[in-house]
C-alpha cells in the first residue's frame, strides 16, 4: 500500500510539470495585456513599458517559465500581478473553504445516493423505485447553480433559516459553519447523489440476485446484515469508480456554486484571476486543482483496495 | 485491513484538518457595505478604477466634495491658485494612525509620490510639491489646471503616512489619517475588509461605529440576496436586473447618487480615412437622431438610466439644460439627413465589442440599420476595449465616461490632435480648440460653466461624440439604512461618508 501511495505521489511530479508548462503557455497566449488592466484607461505608453519591465513580461517565455519554476519547487508560486498577495498564501487561505464545501457535498451525495439506490434496488418497479428514478433524473438534469438560487430564495431570503451568502470558518463557530455550508453543499451534492443512486441501484439489483446472497438468507442471517454486510459491500465496488468521478465533478461545481453564495473559495479566486488575467494566480490555481484531483483518485484507489482485496497491490 | 483503514483515516483527517481560518465578529455598532469589485489595492496612488470604498475608512483627502459637488477642505483648510502655483494651508493637530504627524512635508511627499507613480490622471499636470512651512503646502503645476483641487478630493489627494510608503505591502496595510484603521487580523482576504476606530483620529466626535466592514461580493445576485437578508446594509450596483429588483422592492431602496457613467459612441475616424462617410457631419447627426434612447434605456438598462445628449448629467455644474433633446429620436429626420448626405445608400463599419456591451451594440446596430447603416459588431477580448479604442483598428468605438470627471479631460481624451481616443489624429475644429483652452483659464466653476456649455453645444453640432445614456451611481440600501439620518452618500462616488456615520439601530 505504501508503495502504491509512493508511486502515485512520484507520478504527480511529471504530471504537475506538464500541467505547469501547459498552463504557463496557454495563459501567455491570452491576447489582452494585464498591464492594460492595471493601468486602466489613462496609462501612458511609457508607464506601460515600465510596468511590463517591472513585472518581467518583457523576458522570453522560456526564461519566465524557468524563473517561476525555480521558485515554485520551493513552494513559492509567485505574487499576484494585481497586489502584493502571495499566490501560495492566497490559495492556502481558500483551500479549506473549497475543501469543506466539497467534503460536505460529497457526504450528502454519498448518504442520499446510497440510501436512494438501495431503497430502489430492494423494491424494483415499485413506487419507491420510480420515485428514486425520477428524483435521480431530475437531480442530474437540474444545473447546480440554478438549484442553489432556488435554495437561497426559499431557505435564506424567505424563511431566513440559513445565510444567503458567505462562509464562516469552523474555527469561528461550528454551528455557523454548518449553516453557511448547508445550502451550497445541498446545491452541489444532490446532483451527484442522483448519479450515485443510479449506480448503486443498478449494482445492488445485480448483487441481490447472486447465489451467495441467497445462501446468506438461507443461513438465517437478518435482512439488514445481508444487505449491509454482503450485498452493499460488493455493490460498492463499481460505485467507488463513480464516486471518484463525482468528487472531481463536485470540485469543479464548487467553483460555480461559490459565486452564487459569494463564498471566498478557490472558484471565486479563479474567476477573479481569469477576469484580471492574473497569470501567476491562474498558474498556481491550475496546479493546486490538478494536485487535488490526483489526490482524490489516489484516495479512490485506496478505498477500492479496501473494498476489493483482489485489487490491492501485492 | 486495519492498515488500510488507518491510512484512509489519516487522509480524511488531514483533509478535514485543513478546514478553518481566522474569525470575524458581528454585532451592534457595525455597518456593512458590499462592493461589486474585488479589492485590488489599498494604495490610493496605485488605484486606477473602482474600489474607493476600501480606501475611504483609512484615508482622508486634502479636500472632499460637498453635497452639491463643491470642493470642501478636509485635511486642508484653505487654498489659493495663482497661475501655476497652488498654495494649500493644512489642518493642524492631525496625525496618521501610526502616530506620525501630518504636516506639509508629509503632504508634499504624497503628492510627489503620486506624480512619480503616474496612475492618478489628475496629477499629470503637477510638476512637484514642497513644504513652504510646517502647515503650508506648495504645488507647482506644469500647465494651468483648473481641476487640481478636484483631483485632490479623490485618490490624488489621499494622504499616506510617509513611513508607510516604503512598505512593499502597502496595498494591504493602509496607514492614513481616516476615522478608522484597517484590522488585518479580522479581515479575510478576498472576502471582507474590517475597519475599527482610529484612536488617534483628529475629530473623535465623528467616529460613530465600533466596526465598519466592506464585503467583496462581485456576483450581483449574491449581493442582492445579502441585502435582502440583512447580511449587508448597503452595496453598489450597475444598471442591471438586480438593481431593477431593488428599485421595485418595498423593503429596499435604490439610491441614485450624483455622478455615474455616460455611455457614448465615438466616431474616431471623423476625417473619413477608413470610412469616408464619417467625415460627413450630416451622417453623424443622422446616427445621433436614429437612436431611440428611451427604448434603449428601458430594454438595456432596465429604466435605471436617463437619455443623454451631452457629457454631463443634471446637477453637474457643466450640464447645460439647453441641450436636452437636441438629438431626440427622430428616424424620419435621420433618413432625410442621410438622403441629403453623400452616402444616401448607407455604408458599413466595424464596432468593437466586449461581452457586457454586446446587448447595447445590438440595440444600436438595429437603430443604425433603420437609416441604412450597417454596424458590424466585432468582439474583442474583455479588458482590451480601451486599448484597442486608442488604435486605428476601428473607425468608431463605444466607451463610458465618468460624469463627474472635470470637463478639461474631454479635450485630453477626445478633442486634441494627440488625445488618447483620437487615434486617427483628426484635427479639432478651431471653435472646439478655443473653448478647450478657454476652459483652463479659471478655477471657478461659475466662470467655467458657460464655456463648457458652449463646448457641449459645439460637440453636439460636430456629432463625433454621440451620447446615449447616463446611468447614475446606484447604491442599494435596506429600509433601515434609508431611514438612517447619518447616512450621507459621497458626491460622485459609490461610497458612504464615514464621518459621523452611525449604525442603523
Which residues in chain B are closer than 8 Å to A275, comparing Cβ atoms? Answer: 382-383
ipTM: 0.76
Separation of alpha carbons B468 and B203, rounded Å: 44
More confident residue, B228 or B383: B228
Calculate mean pLDDT across residues B341-357.
Answer: 94
- Kindly list the residues from chain A whose CB atom is less than 8 angstroms away from the CB atom of residue B228: 157, 164
Smallest Cβ distance to B381: which of A31, A94, A305? A31
Contact residues, chain B, for A271 at CB < 8 Å: 218
Residue B5 has pLDDT above 60, yes or no: no
Least confident of A54-58, B119-123, B206-210: A54-58
Whether pLDDT at A43 is above 70? no
pLDDT of B488: 95
* Nearest-neighbour CA in chain A from B132: distance (Å): 30
Q: Closest partner residue to B20 among A32, A165, A170, by Cβ? A: A170
Q: Name the band, by pLDDT with cuts 50, 70 and 90, for residue B23.
A: very low
Confidence at residue B28, expressed as pLDDT on a 0 to 100 scale: 58
The confidence band for A22, taking pLDDT boundaries of 50, 70 and 90, is confident
What mean pLDDT comes out for the span A205-220?
Answer: 86
Chain A residues within an 8 Å CB radius of B1 = 306
**Which residues have C-beta within 8 Å of that of residue A131, sequence separation ≥ 6?**
none
B13 in contact with chain A, both atoms CB, cutoff 8 A: no
DSSP summary character for residue B447? H
Assess whether pLDDT exceeds 50 at residue B120.
Answer: yes
* Mean pLDDT value across residues B269-277: 96
Interchain contact, A47 vs B119, CB within 8 Å = yes
Question: By the 8 A CB rule, do A189 and A250 touch?
Answer: yes
Which of B38, B121, B231 has its CB closest to that of A166? B231
Which sign, positive or negative, has the C-alpha torsion B28, B34, B40, B46? Answer: negative
Backbone angles phi, psi at B168, to 5 degrees: -65, -20
Q: Nearest by CB to B41, which of A30, A31, A83?
A: A83
Q: Cα separation of B194 and B185, whole Å?
A: 9
Residues sharing a CB contact under 8 Å with residue A153, sequence separation 6 or more, in sequence order: none
Residues B69-86 pLDDT 10s: 889 999 999 999 999 999
Q: How confident is the model at residue A31 (pLDDT cuts 50, 70, 90)?
A: low
| Cell output for B476 | 442599494
Could A171 and B20 be called an inter-chain contact, meaning their C-beta atoms sit closer than 8 Å? yes
Q: In the 3-class helix/strand/coil scheme, how is B325-376 assigned residue by residue?
A: CCCCCCHHHHHHHHHHCCCCCCEEEEEEECHHHHHHHHHHHHHHHCCCEEEE
Query: In this predicted structure, which of A56-70, B78-92, B392-406, B451-465 has the lowest mean pLDDT?
Result: A56-70
Per-residue confidence band for B22, with pLDDT thresholds at 50, 70 and 90 = very low
**pLDDT (mean) for B39-43:** 89
Cell of B74: 478636509
Q: Which residues contact A29 (CB under 8 A, 6 or more apart)?
A: none
User: Which carries the bigger pLDDT value, residue A15 or residue B73?
Assistant: B73
Tell which wins on pLDDT, A197 or A139.
Answer: A197
- Angle CA A312–A313–B4, to nearest 5: 55
pLDDT at B1: 39
Asked if A84's CB is within 8 angstroms of B168's CB, the reply is yes
Query: What's the rounded mean pLDDT across residues A17-36?
Result: 78
Question: Which has the closest alpha carbon to B398: B385, B407, B411?
Answer: B385
Share of chain B above pLDDT 90, in %: 79
What is the tens place of the pLDDT at every residue in A279-307? 889 889 988 888 888 888 888 877 877 77
3-state secondary structure of A275: helix
Confidence at B201, pLDDT banded by 50, 70, 90: very high
Which one of A83, A105, A302 would you mutate to disrupt binding with B, by most B Cβ within 10 Å of its Cβ? A83
Does B99 score more than 80 pLDDT? yes
Q: Is the pLDDT of residue B8 over 60?
A: no
Chain A residue closest to B4 (CA)? A306
- Nearest of B491, B494, B476 to residue B74 by alpha carbon: B491
List chain A residues with CB under 8 Å of B171.
Answer: 83-84
* % of chain A beyond a pLDDT of 90: 22
pLDDT > 90? residue B499: yes
Among the ranges A154-168, B14-28, B39-53, B267-281, which has the highest mean pLDDT value?
B267-281
The mean predicted confidence, pLDDT, of chain B is 91
* Partner A contacted by B49 (CB < 8 A): yes
Grid cell of A236 as nine digits: 460498492
CB A179 within 8 A of CB A222: no
Q: Given an 8 Å threshold on Cβ–Cβ distance, is B225 in contact with A33?
A: no
pTM for the complete prediction? Answer: 0.83
pLDDT at A25 over 60: yes
Least confident of A115-129, A139-153, B2-16, B188-202: B2-16
pLDDT value of residue B19: 35
Q: How far apart are the first and last CA of chain A?
A: 8
Return the residue in A233, A264, A297 with the most chain B beta carbons within 10 A, the one to mutate for interface testing. Answer: A264
- CB contact residues (below 8 A), chain B span 365-384, against chain A: 381-384
Does B40 reach chain A within 8 Å, measured CB to CB? yes
Name the CA radius of gyration of chain B, rounded.
Answer: 25
| C-alpha cell, B5 | 483503514
| Cross-chain Cβ contact A84/B5 below 8 Å | no
For residue B121, the chain A residues in CB contact (below 8 A) are 42
Nearest to A99 by CA among B188, B192, B216, B20: B20
Mean pLDDT in residue range A53-58: 80
Distance from the A149 Cα atom to the nearest Cα atom in chain B, whole angstroms: 9
Is the CB of A31 less than 8 angstroms away from the CB of B3? Answer: no
Q: Please, what is the Cα angle at B290 between B285 and B291, to 5 degrees? A: 110
- pLDDT at position B3 is 41
Which site among A91, A166, A168, A177 would you substitute to test the B interface, given the most B Cβ atoms closer than 10 Å to its Cβ? A166
Q: φ, ψ for residue B211 (rounded to 5)?
A: -165, 140
Do the chains contact at A305 and B383, CB–CB below 8 Å? no
Q: Residues of chain B with pLDDT > 70: what percent? A: 94
Contacts of A96 in chain B (CB under 8 A): 18-21
| B6 lies within 8 A of chain A by CB | no
CA distance A189 to chain B (A): 18
Measured between beta carbons, the chain B residues lying within 8 angstroms of A40 are 48-49, 119, 386
* pLDDT over 80 (residue A5): no
Out of A138-142, A282-286, B86-90, B185-189, pick the least confident.
A138-142
Q: Which residue has the higher pLDDT, A303 or A193?
A: A193
* pLDDT at residue B49 is higher than 80: no
B170: confidence class by pLDDT, cuts 50, 70, 90: very high
pLDDT band at residue B397, thresholds of 50, 70 and 90?
very high
At B400-457, the pLDDT tens digits run: 998 888 999 999 999 999 998 999 999 999 999 999 999 998 888 889 999 999 999 9
Mean pLDDT of B175-201: 94
Asked whether the beta carbons of residue B381 and residue A264 sit closer than 8 angstroms, the reply is no
**Rounded-to-integer distance, Cα A88 and Cα A96, Å:** 13
B38 touches chain A (CB under 8 A): yes
Half-sphere exposure of B219 (CA within 13 A, CB side): 24
Reply yes or no on whether the pLDDT at B6 is more than 60.
no
Contact B237, B36 (CB under 8 A): yes
Residue A69 grid coordinates: 519554476
A259 and B38 in contact by Cβ < 8 A?
no
pLDDT tens figures, B211-247: 999 999 988 999 999 999 999 999 999 889 999 999 9
- Interface contact flag, B118 A44, Cβ < 8 Å: yes
pLDDT for the residue numbered A213? 85
The torsion of the CA quartet B425, B428, B434, B436, rounded to 10 degrees, works out to: -60
> Searching chain B, which residue's CA lies closest to the CA of residue A98?
B19
> Is CATH 2.60.120.260 correct for A91-276?
no
Residues of chain A with Cβ-Cβ distance to B216 below 8 Å are: 264
Tell me what the mean pLDDT of segment A90-95 comes to. 92
Amino acid at each position: 500500500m505504501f508503495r502504491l501511495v509512493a508511486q502515485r505521489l512520484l507520478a504527480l511530479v511529471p504530471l504537475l510539470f506538464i500541467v505547469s508548462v501547459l498552463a504557463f503557455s496557454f495563459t501567455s497566449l491570452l491576447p489582452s495585456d494585464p498591464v492594460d488592466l492595471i493601468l486602466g484607461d489613462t496609462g501612458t505608453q511609457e508607464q506601460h513599458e515600465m510596468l511590463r519591465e517591472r513585472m518581467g513580461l518583457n523576458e522570453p517565455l522560456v526564461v519566465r517559465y524557468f524563473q517561476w519554476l525555480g521558485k515554485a519547487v520551493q513552494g513559492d508560486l509567485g505574487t499576484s500581478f494585481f497586489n502584493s498577495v502571495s499566490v501560495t498564501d492566497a490559495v492556502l487561505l481558500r483551500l479549506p473553504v473549497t475543501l469543506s464545501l466539497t467534503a460536505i457535498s460529497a457526504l450528502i451525495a454519498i448518504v442520499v445516493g446510497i440510501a436512494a439506490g438501495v431503497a430502489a434496488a430492494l423494491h424494483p418497479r415499485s413506487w419507491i423505485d420510480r420515485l428514486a428514478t425520477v428524483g435521480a433524473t431530475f437531480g442530474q438534469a437540474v444545473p447546480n447553480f440554478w438549484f442553489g438560487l432556488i435554495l437561497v430564495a426559499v431557505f435564506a431570503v424567505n424563511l431566513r433559516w440559513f445565510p444567503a451568502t458567505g462562509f464562516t470558518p469552523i474555527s469561528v463557530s461550528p454551528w455557523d459553519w454548518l449553516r453557511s455550508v448547508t445550502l451550497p453543499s445541498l446545491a452541489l451534492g444532490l446532483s451527484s447523489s442522483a448519479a450515485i443512486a443510479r449506480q448503486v441501484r443498478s449494482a445492488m439489483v445485480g448483487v441481490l440476485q447472486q447465489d451467495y446472497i441467497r445462501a446468506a438468507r438461507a443461513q438465517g442471517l437478518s435482512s439488514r446484515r445481508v444487505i449491509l454486510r454482503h450485498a452493499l459491500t460488493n455493490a460498492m465496488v463499481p460505485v467507488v469508480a463513480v464516486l471518484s468521478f463525482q468528487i472531481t465533478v463536485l470540485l469543479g461545481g464548487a467553483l460555480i456554486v461559490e459565486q452564487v453564495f459569494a463564498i471566498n473559495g478557490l472558484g471565486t479566486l479563479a474567476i477573479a484571476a481569469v477576469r484580471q488575467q492574473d497569470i501567476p494566480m491562474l498558474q498556481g490555481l491550475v496546479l493546486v486543482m490538478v494536485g487535488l484531483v490526483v489526490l482524490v483518485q489516489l484516495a479512490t484507489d485506496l478505498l477500492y483496495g479496501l473494498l476489493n482485496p483482489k485489487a490491492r497491490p501485492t | 485491513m486495519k492498515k488500510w483503514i488507518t491510512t484512509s483515516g489519516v487522509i480524511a483527517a488531514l483533509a478535514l484538518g485543513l478546514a478553518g481560518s481566522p474569525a470575524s465578529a458581528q454585532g451592534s455598532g457595525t455597518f456593512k457595505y458590499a462592493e461589486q469589485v474585488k479589492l485590488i489595492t489599498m494604495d490610493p496612488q496605485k488605484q486606477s478604477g473602482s474600489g474607493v470604498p476600501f480606501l475611504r475608512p483609512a484615508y482622508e483627502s486634502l479636500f472632499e466634495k460637498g453635497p452639491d459637488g463643491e470642493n470642501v477642505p478636509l485635511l486642508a483648510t484653505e487654498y489659493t491658485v495663482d497661475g501655476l502655483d497652488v498654495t494649500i494651508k493644512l489642518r493642524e493637530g492631525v496625525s496618521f494612525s501610526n502616530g506620525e504627524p501630518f504636516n506639509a512635508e508629509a503632504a508634499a511627499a504624497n503628492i510627489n509620490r503620486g506624480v512619480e507613480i503616474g496612475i492618478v490622471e489628475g496629477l499629470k499636470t503637477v510638476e512637484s510639491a514642497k513644504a513652504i512651512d510646517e502647515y503650508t503646502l506648495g504645488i507647482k503645476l506644469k500647465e494651468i489646471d483648473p481641476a487640481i483641487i478636484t483631483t485632490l478630493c479623490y485618490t490624488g489627494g489621499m494622504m499616506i503616512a510617509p513611513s508607510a510608503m516604503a512598505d512593499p505591502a502597502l496595498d494591504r496595510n493602509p496607514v492614513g489619517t481616516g476615522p478608522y484603521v484597517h484590522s488585518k487580523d479580522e479581515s479575510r482576504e478576498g472576502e471582507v475588509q474590517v475597519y475599527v476606530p482610529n484612536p488617534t483620529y483628529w475629530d473623535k466626535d465623528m467616529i460613530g461605529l465600533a466596526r465598519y466592514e466592506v464585503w467583496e461580493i462581485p456576483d450581483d445576485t449574491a449581493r442582492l440576496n445579502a441585502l435582502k437578508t440583512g447580511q449587508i446594509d448597503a452595496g453598489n450596483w450597475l444598471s442591471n436586473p438586480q438593481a431593477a429588483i431593488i428599485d421595485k422592492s418595498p423593503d429596499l431602496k435604490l439610491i441614485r447618487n450624483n455622478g455615474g457613467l455616460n455611455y457614448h459612441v465615438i466616431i474616431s475616424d471623423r476625417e473619413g480615412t477608413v470610412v469616408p462617410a464619417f467625415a460627413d457631419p450630416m451622417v453623424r447627426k443622422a446616427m445621433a437622431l436614429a437612436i431611440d434612447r428611451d427604448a434603449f434605456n428601458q430594454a438595456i438598462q432596465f429604466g435605471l438610466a436617463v437619455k443623454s445628449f451631452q457629457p454631463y448629467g443634471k446637477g453637474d455644474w457643466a450640464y447645460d439644460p439647453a441641450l436636452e433633446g437636441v438629438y431626440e429620436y427622430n428616424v424620419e429626420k435621420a433618413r432625410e439627413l442621410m438622403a441629403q448626405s453623400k452616402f444616401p445608400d448607407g455604408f458599413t463599419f466595424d464596432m468593437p465589442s466586449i461581452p457586457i456591451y454586446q446587448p447595447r451594440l445590438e440595440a444600436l446596430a438595429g437603430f443604425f440599420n433603420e437609416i441604412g447603416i450597417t454596424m458590424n459588431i466585432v468582439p474583442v477580448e474583455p479588458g482590451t476595449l480601451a486599448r484597442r479604442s486608442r488604435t486605428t483598428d476601428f473607425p468608431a468605438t463605444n466607451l463610458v465616461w465618468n460624469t463627474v470627471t472635470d470637463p478639461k479631460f474631454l479635450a485630453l481624451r477626445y478633442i486634441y490632435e494627440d488625445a488618447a481616443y483620437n487615434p486617427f489624429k483628426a484635427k479639432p475644429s478651431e471653435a472646439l480648440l478655443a473653448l478647450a483652452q478657454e476652459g483652463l483659464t479659471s478655477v471657478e466653476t461659475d466662470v467655467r460653466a458657460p464655456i463648457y456649455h458652449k463646448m457641449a453645444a459645439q460637440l453636439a453640432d460636430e456629432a463625433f461624440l454621440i451620447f446615449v445614456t447616463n446611468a447614475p451611481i446606484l447604491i442599494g440600501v435596506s429600509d433601515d439604512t434609508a431611514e438612517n439620518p447619518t447616512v450621507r452618500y459621497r458626491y460622485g462616488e459609490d461610497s458612504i461618508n464615514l464621518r459621523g456615520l452611525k449604525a442603523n439601530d
